[in-house]
Structures are given as structure tokens and as C-alpha cells.
Chains A and B, each alone.
Chain A
Amino acid sequence: MQYFVTRILGVVPVLVFTWTLVFVVLQVIPGDPVNLMLAGVPASEEVRQRERERLGLDRPVAERYVGFLVRAVQGDLGESFRSRRPVGEMIAEQMWPTIELAVGGLLVGLLLGIVLGILAGIRPNSIVDSVCMALALVGVSLPSFWIGMLLIYVFGTVLMVVPITGRGLWALILPSITVGLFIAGGFARLVRASIIEAMGQDYIRTARAKGLPPVKVVLKHALRNAMIPPVTLLGIQFALLIGGAVVTENVFARPGLGTMLVDAVLTKDMPLVQALVVYKTAAYVFINVMIDIVYAIIDPRVRLERS
């Protein structure tokens, strides 16, 4: 327990460091946010100066830096330069569709990756192995917009079995597959390697000798021991997805944090960029802590080691 509390508290210095980095980079990039924000508005220099004061852009850098941290701790992340809406509200709106897609993609990736990895791992260097690994390679190599468009064409336009856009679980199927194929690719290879290693262990030979059915040998004994490296990878992938999958979001007309971040960076909407980066960092660290917890669940040796 103490272990996890320490880990979670470790988020804070990471967040401060990341936020500082983003702050510095945004200062250095050329472009006056007020001019960019008021682009198209016939606003005089007085109006612009007033805006700068309102946004606090005329204060010294150090004051702005500290000021933001103080407000952030109280829960105020500022307003978007472009839409003038509270940034926290904007992120909250887009968070649920992003999480939906992340979970959907993860489930597809997990399922497909485990199946391909196991099939390949229990019969290494066979035809089944080659086919599975080729499929994994295809999943990792094909660009997601291409996969997405192909799925839309085949399943949405020709066969018409799933919706192309919209909300709800049916509309989540194609985008989840698009995202999941990529995850499955890397995951399958890792599962395969881990299964091969596990299957070579003595306890597997013992299990077989005891007369256990092969399915149980693989799923109950080998897989559990093989899961630690793949779980790490899965965690990393999930953390990346939590920040949004911009290409998939665009292809399937889904709102999401990926699109929001790209738009914010391109329009130099500083408060939004900063808040999104903080969010992504926090999510990443948090998920890493979760992975550690999962290790303890999967592998009793880790549990014992820690206590």
C-alpha cells in the first residue's frame, strides 16, 4: 500500500516538470496569441492591449508561471483563447468519447493479440506461426486512416452492417477495430515470445505429465506467467490512446482529445494546450501505477516481494 501511495505522489514532480517544459516551449514559439485570437476582428491596438492585460500576457514570465500553478491547484485551468470557455469544461466534454475509443481499441487489441500470440506461440516456426505473425505485422504497418477507410467501405457502405458515424456501441465497432489492429500487432508478437518462453518451463512439463487438457495448460498456466511484458506494452498503448487518436477520430467523425490537441497547438491556444498536456501526463503516470498493481495481481511473486 505504501508503495502505491509513494508512486502516486510521484506524479506531482513529473507534472510540474512537464508543465514547465510546455510553458517554456510555448513562450519560445513565435506568434502573439492575442493577434492570433483576434485574427479577423477589426480590433484596434487599445483593444488588443486590453486583451493582453485580461489574459495576463503582459505580466512577467515568472509571475505567469507561478500564477498558473496556484490557480491550477485550486482547479482553475483557465479559459481557451479561441472560444473563451473554461478549458476544464472543454476537456471534460471530449474525454468520454476518447475513453470510449481507448477502451474499445484496447479490448479489440487485447483479444486479437492474445489469440494470434497464443496460436503462434504454442507452435513456433510452423505455418500457423508464420500466418499469425504476418497478420500482426500487417496490423502494425498499415496506416490507420487506410484501415479505417477500408472498414468503412466494406462494412459500412457495401455490407451495411454497422454505422459509420454516430454514437453508441455499434458506431464504436469500426473505430475500435481500426485502433485495435495496431495494438494487436505489437501485442501479438510479445505474447508469442512470452508463451514460447513459458512453454519451455518445467512446470508446464509437469502439468502435461499430470494429464491436464492442453487448453488448460496454455490458458491457465502458461498465459498467466507470460503476461507481464505484454501487460506493460498494453499499458503504454492505453496511455497513448487516452490522449486521443487523432487520425481515427477524423476518419470516423468522432470528437476527441486528439483532434482537440492538434487544433489547439495549430491555433496557439495556450491554456488549452497546457491543460491537455498536463492531462495526458497525469493519465500516463496514473496508468503506469495501475500496471504495477496489475503485476501484483498476475504474479504473486511480485506481491510477496513488495510486502
Chain B
Amino acid sequence: MKSSRRNAIKGAAAALGAISAPSIGRSQAPGFTLVWADDSNSDVTYDPRVTQSRHEEQIIVQVFDQLIMSDEKGNLAPGLATAWEMAPNGLSLRLKLREGVRFHDGTAFNAEAVKYTFDSIVDPATGSQGAVDMIGPYERTEILGAHEVRVHYRAPNAGAIDSLTENEMSIVSPTAAQRLGNTGFAQAPVGTGPFRFVSWDRGREVVLERNPDYAWAPSWSTVQGPSNVHRIVHRFIPNNATRVAALEAGEVHAADILPALDTRRLNDSGKFRSMVGVAAGLSFGASLNTSKPPFNDIRVRQAFMYAIDRVRLAQNLYFGIINPAYGPLASTTPEYWNGAEQYYRFDRARAERLLEEAGWRMGPNGIRVKEGQPLRAYFPSLLLPDVAVALQAEARRVGFEIVVENVLKQRQDELLMTNQYEMAVVRWVSNDPGILRVPFHSSNIPEPGKFKFNWARVNDPALDGMIARAAAATTAAERSTLYRELQKDIMDRAIFLPIHDQVQTAVHSTRVAGLRFARGNWQIRFHEARPTA
């Protein structure tokens, strides 16, 4: 009786030991496995043609290549295309394609693959949410040879070359996309990149394994052949505290978007290195809905901007890691105009004066009132509610009530399409100042059935004209001038409240090195990573 009980206990202990999971130091696979902790758990698709999520792109950037590859500083290099030439009229782009490249499923990379990818991006059945905007006024792809194409545009597309460096314009395997269908391809993507997709354990992790045949890295890469990382385990750990703990305990090598205080603390400890990249593109800021009260009055918009002390806000929220922003473009974007920094410097008295002028008198409970209506703005917040709440506090001081509600994307999209909001935060990462078209061109005003990003709902042919002319500029000097004027005009209209830089704060253990920001300073590339120990 007693001995069988003892055996049972021994047996149970042995079973426990056998089933228990190895920590990252004891992975059974040969070679180095890099473990990354991602701050989200809401990935739906890894199809570059469909995605508009930076989380999904963190996988896409390892699995796919683009025709032209840009490093984090904006230096372009041949990728899947070895040479390119834009027609003088901006209506077509000729590309010579690299030979000897294969997709992870063995399909040869050629002109057909490029044509298939681009055609499918504009096909409504694909359901593209990001690429369809990146691709510009795409008309068709003409196949000139097995490794040569000419891409035709309906209108002059000065940003064509730059757009080809975007993750959303990665080239997909036509064989895999057709065999798996769009839903299947989204869950098992096939590209030409340094890592191939292995598995997706929903809610837990994605596993990638290196492409041993990878021999077409861009010239700016410090590793030209296959990666020194044999496997990548991309873990979903949405809880901030848990992600920090996992990094500190050594369960992951690197983690993204850690709270500012932890980023500082870990970096100062010497055992970790933080990578802080200012993403190019739009500043993190709020679009003010000009189509209805209270923001249809420019004085109210200006007052709102004068009332926000963004220097103090950035310092309080981010402990010196993130800087305040002053203009619509992020400071690292080409053609950034630093004149924007003179606009709307914090001045509460001036804000109050403007509100008085606009007829908003202080009411009994500290909120201004006009014709019986309170000065109130509804602010559905998808991201970073702490910023929204800080804005709310600042605005309250001048008698402005901001109603902040934390909503999920689906709900926010619905509110935006049906014009049921007064302000909303729009973010966009891009290396092209032409990105200003996205939040400010009248063709981008959202409606039911049409989800676009002009959330200020500004509809002015004069502004549209400036945006179009700047994008079509043919000389560098002309481009600079036109973009400076455009930024000034946007600031004069007071339609966008810049708050702070968009910053990616990734932290990694000093046991690994070679992690590098991808173009735009958002995703991290692992191709050049290696263990240091």
C-alpha cells in the first residue's frame, strides 16, 4: 500500500518534469532562437496587401521583401528590383527584377508575381486596408520580360518609388495566394524574406524560421546571407507589466512599447538596451472636426491649441523619452518645417480671450456656455487614453469639456464614418511628406461605407490644390517650398493639434545584438540579429 503510493508520487514527478516547458535558454531546436514580446494580441492577417496594423507588420517585415528596400534612415537600395527608372511624366515606372530569387514555397520570383501582387491589391475582393492607399493611382502592370515590368499610373505619381519601399507593397507568392485563398494566405503567408512562416498558435505566439536560401539582402544590411537567428518566436503579451516582467526574467530577448519609466529603468540597469525611434510620418495628434460645433469656429480651434501645454504634457507622461510635436509632420520626416514650432505656444490667457470672443461665456460649473449649449467635445480614444485624459484636464482649465471614451477600433470606425465625434487621434507612419494627403485631402473624408482618414473633415479645394501640387513637384527646391507652404497653411487653419512624436520604444537584453529598426522606425528587423553570449 505505502510503496505503491510512493511510486505513484515518483511517477507523477517524472511526468511533471517531462511535460514542463523549457524556458528560452533550453530550446530543443539547434541554432539561436530569438524571442520577442509584442504588446498586442489582436492580429488578424499577415497578408501585406491587406494589413494596416503595425503589429501585423512586425511579422510581415521578416517574411517579405519589397522591390526597393529602405533602411531606417531612408537610404534606398535594390531589393527584389535591381534597377528602376521613372518616366519623366511620372505616369510609369520601369523596374528590372532580381533573378534567382525564390519564394518560401519554391515558386520563382518574376514579373508575374509583381503583376499579381499589384493587381490583387486594387481588387476589392482582397479587402486591402493599407496597400490600396500606398499604391497610388495604379492602373496596371505591363510585363516587359520575365524579369522586367513597367508599372502604369493613371496620374503622375511622384511618390511611386518611395511607395514601393512600404511593407504593404511587399511581393507575395501568387501560387500560395491562389492556392490558399485570401483567408488562408492571411494565416500562412509566403514571401521571399529572410524568415519563413511556420506556425500561429492563436493568442500565444507565431513561430518563424530562417530562410536558409536567403541571398538577396539589401546592400545596407550588415548580414548578406541567411540570418544568424534560426528561429523567431513572436509572443503576444498585451499586459505591460507582464511584458516587462518577462523581459526582466529572461523569458524574452526583446519587447516592444514598454512604459516610458520602465524603458528608462531597464536601460540604466546596463543589462538591457533601449531602442527609441522617432517614427516619420504624421505627428501623434488630434484632428478637430471642422464640420460641426464647437470646432467649426476657427477661434475655438485656436483657443483649444493655445490651452494645451504640450511641453509639460510630454514631460509628465513620458519622462523625457518622447518630445512634444508642433506640426503635422513628425520631425524626422523629409521636408519637415520647423516654423511650425512657433505656432500655438502655450498661452492660457489667449485661449480664454479667443473663447470669449467666440461667444463662449463661463458657466456655473466651470464649463463655458453659448446659446444654452455647453462647450463640449466628444473624443473617442482608441489609443493611449492617458494622453486623452491629460488633454481633458488641460482643456477643463479654460472651461472646455472633453468627453473621453475608450473604444475599440470597430466602434471608433463606426463613429468616424457617421460623423459622431468632435476630435480623434490619427497616426500614420511614412517616409513621404505626401502623407499629408491622407488626413487633409477632401477625397478622404469618411462616410458610411468609406473609411478614410480626413477626420478634420476639411473640404477646401485650395488645400487640395496645395497637396496635389506639392506631390507633383519636379525639383527638390520646388518640393521644399511647396511642402513648407502646405504645412504653414495647415497650421494656420488650426485643424490638427500636434501633441508629441510617435515613438517606438523597444528594449532588448544585452544578450542579443543587431536588432535594427525597419524603415519608419517602427518595426524591428531581426535579420541582422545575433546572440552576444
Cα separation A82 to B45 with both chains bound (whole Å): 11
Q: How many residues of A contact B (CB 8 A)?
A: 50
Q: Is B225 in contact with chain A by the CB < 8 A criterion?
A: no
- Which residues of B have CB within 8 Å of A307? none
Nearest first, the 10 closest Cβ-Cβ pairs linking A and B are A255-B203, A168-B21, A39-B413, A253-B237, A170-B20, A36-B410, A40-B129, A266-B408, A152-B245, A267-B410
A267 to B409, CA, bound (A): 8
A44 neighbours in B (Cβ, 8 Å):
124, 449
Contact present for A169 and B20 (CB under 8 Å): yes
In angstroms, how far is the closest chain B Cβ from the Cβ of A109?
Answer: 20
Which parts of A10-67 form the interface with B (CB within 8 Å)? 31, 35-45, 47-48
Partner of A268, one of B42, B243, B410: B410
CB of A197, distance to nearest CB on chain B (Å): 31
| Chain B contact patch, size range | 35 or more
| B248 part of interface (Cβ distance < 8 Å) | yes
B150-180 CB mask vs A (1 if < 8 Å, else 0) is 0000000000000000000000000000000
Inter-subunit contact B183/A84 (CB<8 Å): yes
Give complex CA distance A38, B19 in Å: 42
Q: Given the interface contacts A157-B249, A163-B251, does A253 sit within 8 Å of B124 by beta carbon?
A: no
**In the complex, which of the residues A44, A166, A171, A256 has the most CB atoms of chain B within 10 Å of its own CB atom?**
A166
- Asked if B477 is at the interface (CB within 8 A of a chain A CB), the reply is no
* Chain B residues, Cβ within 8 Å of A36: 410-411, 413-414
Return chain B residues, CB-CB under 8 Å to A163. Answer: 21, 23, 249, 251
CB <8 Å contact, B451 and A94: no
Query: How many Å lie between the Cα of A85 and that of B186 in the bound state?
Result: 11
**Residues in B neighbouring A157, C-beta threshold 8 A:** 245, 248-249
> When each residue 63-85 of chain A gets 1 if its CB lies under 8 Å from chain B and 0 otherwise, what string results?
00000000000000000001111
Report chain A residues within 8 Å CB of B124: 42-44, 47
Min distance, Cβ B431 to any Cβ of chain A, angstroms: 22
Closest Cβ of chain A: how far from B124's Cβ, in Å? Answer: 6
Instruction: State which residues 4-53 of B face A: CB under 8 Å.
Output: 16, 19-21, 23, 41-42, 44, 52
Task: Give the complex CA separation of A165 and B414 in angstroms.
Answer: 35
Q: B242 contacts A164, CB within 8 Å?
A: yes
A40, A164, A250, A255: the one contacting B251 at CB < 8 Å is: A164
* A149 at the B interface (CB under 8 A): yes
Say whether A156 faces chain B, with CB atoms less than 8 Å apart: yes
6 further contact pairs, Cβ within 8 A, besides A40-B129, A83-B183, A165-B242: A39-B409, A39-B410, A48-B449, A156-B249, A170-B21, A253-B246
- Whether a CB of chain A sits under 8 angstroms from the CB of B236 is yes
0/1 string, B247-259, CB within 8 A of A gives 1: 0111100000000
B214-251 near A? 1/0 per residue, CB < 8 Å: 00000000000000000000011111011101101111
A168–B124 alpha-carbon span in the complex (Å): 43
Closest Cβ–Cβ distance, residue A115 to chain B (whole Å)? 18
Complex CA–CA separation, A106 to B498 (angstroms): 51
CB distance from A245 to the nearest CB of B (A): 14
B312: interface (CB < 8 Å): no
Residue among B235, B241, B246, B450 making CB contact with A149, cutoff 8 Å:
B241
